[in-house]
Amino acid sequence: MTRLLDARNLRAAYRTPDGRLVRAVDDVTLHVEEGEVLGVAGESGSGKSTLGAVLSLNVRAPLEVESGELDVEGKRQDFGASARIPRTWRGSVVSLLPQGAMNSISPTMRVRELCFDVIRAHDRRARYGESMDRVRERITDLGLPPRVLDAYPHQLSGGMKQRVVTVISTLLNPRLLIADEPTSALDVSSQRALMDMLKEMLSAGIMGGVIFITHDLPVLRAVSDRIAVMYAGKVVEVADAADLAERPRHPYSAALLASVLVPEPRYRTLRVTGIPGSPPSLADPPSGCRFHPRCELVMAQCRTQTPPVVGTELRHSACFWAAEHPGEPVPVGSATRTSTPAPASEPAPDPAGSTR
Ligand SMILES: Nc1ncnc2c1ncn2[C@@H]1O[C@H](COP(=O)(O)OP(=O)(O)OP(=O)(O)O)[C@@H](O)[C@H]1O
User: Ligand 1 centre from 45 Cα, in Å?
Assistant: 5
**Residues 67 and 80 sit within 8 Å (Cβ to Cβ):** yes
Domains and CATH numbers, the chain: 3-224 (3.40.50.300), 264-353 (no CATH)
Task: Please state, in angstroms and rounded to a whole number, the distance separating the CA atoms of residues 198 and 83.
Answer: 32
Q: Does residue 88's CB lie within 6 angstroms of at least one atom of ligand 1?
A: no
pLDDT in 10s for each residue of the chain, 356 residues: 799 999 999 999 999 999 899 999 999 999 999 999 999 999 999 999 999 999 999 989 999 999 999 999 988 888 875 556 667 788 889 999 988 877 878 889 999 999 999 999 888 899 999 999 999 999 999 999 999 999 999 999 999 999 999 999 999 999 999 999 999 888 999 999 999 999 999 999 999 999 999 999 889 999 999 999 999 999 999 999 999 998 999 999 999 988 875 555 655 555 556 677 888 999 999 999 999 999 989 999 999 999 999 999 989 999 999 999 999 999 865 433 333 333 333 333 333 333 32
Distance (Å) of CA 197 to CA 166, 191, 200, 223: 9, 10, 5, 11
Element (H, E) at 49: helix 48-55
Length of the chain: 356
Cα–Cα distance list, 138 to 115, 126, 172, 174, 353 (Å): 11, 17, 11, 14, 53
Residue nearest to atom 14 of ligand 1 (CA): 47
Q: Would the CB of 214 count as within 6 Å of ligand 1?
A: no
Closest ligand 1 atom to residue 51 Cα is 18
Give the atom of ligand 1 at the shortest distance from the alpha carbon of 42.
21
Distance CA 286, CA 44 (A): 17
Residue nearest to atom 5 of ligand 1 (CA): 14
Q: How far is the CA of 53 from the centre of ligand 1 (A)?
A: 11
CA-nearest residue for atom 16, ligand 1, is 47
Q: How far apart are CA 243 and CA 105, in angstroms?
A: 38
Predicted TM-score (pTM) of this structure: 0.89
Report the atom number in ligand 1 closest to the C-alpha of 99: 27
Reported ipTM: 0.97
For ligand 1, say whether the CB of 16 is within 6 Å of any of its atoms: yes
Q: Is the Cβ atom of 50 under 6 angstroms away from ligand 1? A: yes
Cβ 52 under 6 angstroms from ligand 1: no
